[in-house]
Amino acid sequence: MADRTQALATSTEVSRRLSTILDLDELVNEVVNQTRDAFHYYHAQIYLFDSSKLYLLMAGGTGEAGQEMLTAGHKLRINQGVVGRAAATNQVVLIPDVAQDSNWLPNPLLPDTKSEAAIPIKLGDEVLGVLDVQHNVTNGLNEESVALLQSIANQVAVAIQNAQQVEQTNIQYELATELTQASQPEQILEAVSGYGRRLGASSAQLLFFENNEVGHPEWAVVRAAWHTEEGGIPAGTRYFFPDFGFAPLWLSSPEQPLLIADTSAHEAVSRELRKLYAQINILATAVLPLYAQGRWAGLVLFNWNIPHAFTGRDERIFTNLAQQTFSVVEAVQSAQRIQDALQEAEQLYQVSQRLSHATTLEASLVAALQTAIDANAINASLLTFELDQTGQPIWAEVTAAWSRNQMPCPAHSLLPARLPYV
């Protein structure tokens, strides 16, 4: 009776503490440490699903073993071991004596485990992860232990959901605040990069699309970039879409981010693309399409130079980042188009003004091409054609010419129209 009273008191204390913690990492650490210490277990750990729902990533564990596994990015495939089975079946897996279970997988970092219980952390039918507890006493975990641990796991599920919602809301607010002040591509990328940097990304790029007449991307232009190492893709780089080897990975499902934890092993990455990723030292990537209601604006890319396991939390946050960034990028692109149109109109006006004052063909040529001349053009010529009876040019006369140095072809020269440069 005393043990049961203590267990209930501990469960109540866990519930009270969980209700006050809104940081996911702090929450997980609190649960595993309090569970281990309160019941004198050998080890406790929590795994959460990654974004693919195929792997369970260790989110927190007790002691040096837990820290070592966490640092190494320890993960288990669904159905692998006790934890993987609990996640796959949505059922508690209890092993009172691991020596009697031929399917039990030992962990060299936890050599004294004698019994183990894995309890799904679930909301309704959705499994978020697994609470795994190990004891160094044979039969140290039993049905009564499982009932208590299930109660704790249920509380953890609600607390995880609350923490994720608070974290996502905070990130959305911070991003919205920074994006409202962003008017340049560099400012947009800086605003959206916070979460990627927090996950250890080694580089990021913001790409704007130049679409064809039906709205499909034709060119991709890197408008802003940062990287933690030398090299990387610089701003100003242009990609023609048929040559943009990454495009097939995300064109088919632009409404959601594409998260590739290991570019050397992901089933969607072709052999040729794996070689390309290896050449530019990208071993993990997050592709955030900037797309809404059939309209393409661009991409945000985060890259890692080591494999990186993405969580469901990452997928939700990246999805929101893309949605918020789309509207800002589209507004910046619209403003740029207006600015370009105004600049073009101003240039045409200046040309017309210069032409109105030109009194010779040579002066007209210089007036019309002043922009090219200012951009260090070497020479320019104005040609008129003599046509045959079918309307095809047979002779070209240089009626006006300008050159920065020696005139390559003086005015009034006659050239056969079949010459390659004519």
Q: pLDDT tens digits, residue range 233-258?
A: 788 889 888 777 777 778 878 888 99
User: Do 132 and 243 have their domain in common?
Assistant: no
Residues 400, 361: contact at Cβ < 8 Å? yes
With a pLDDT cut of 70, the percent of the chain lying above it is: 92
Single out the residue in 135, 170, 205 at which a domain terminates: 170
User: Do 240 and 219 have their domain in common?
Assistant: yes
- Average pLDDT for 3-29: 74
Identify which has the larger pLDDT, 340 or 170: 170
Residue 377 in tokens: 């053009």
User: Do 158 and 126 have their domain in common?
Assistant: yes
| 353 within domain boundaries | no
Identify which has the larger pLDDT, 100 or 347: 100
pLDDT at residue 42 tops 50: yes
CATH of the domain at 107: 3.30.450.40
Residues 259, 271: contact at Cβ < 8 Å? no
| Paired strand residues for 284 | 304
Q: Which domain holds residue 407?
A: 361-416
User: Do 113 and 190 have their domain in common?
Assistant: no
User: Do 150 and 199 have their domain in common?
Assistant: no
Single out the residue in 304, 321, 337 at which a domain terminates: 337
pLDDT at residue 1 tops 50: no
- Average pLDDT for 121-150: 93
Residue 44 in tokens: 């406790």
pLDDT at residue 259 tops 90: yes
| 165 within domain boundaries | yes
| 279 within domain boundaries | yes
Residue 334 in tokens: 């619209």
User: Do 193 and 301 have their domain in common?
Assistant: yes
Give pLDDT, residue 132: 97
User: Do 208 and 314 have their domain in common?
Assistant: yes
User: Do 9 and 152 have their domain in common?
Assistant: yes
pLDDT at residue 172 tops 80: no
| 348 within domain boundaries | no
- Average pLDDT for 149-175: 85
Domain count, the chain: 3
- Between the ranges 132-136, 165-169, 372-376, 417-421, where is the mean pLDDT highest? 132-136
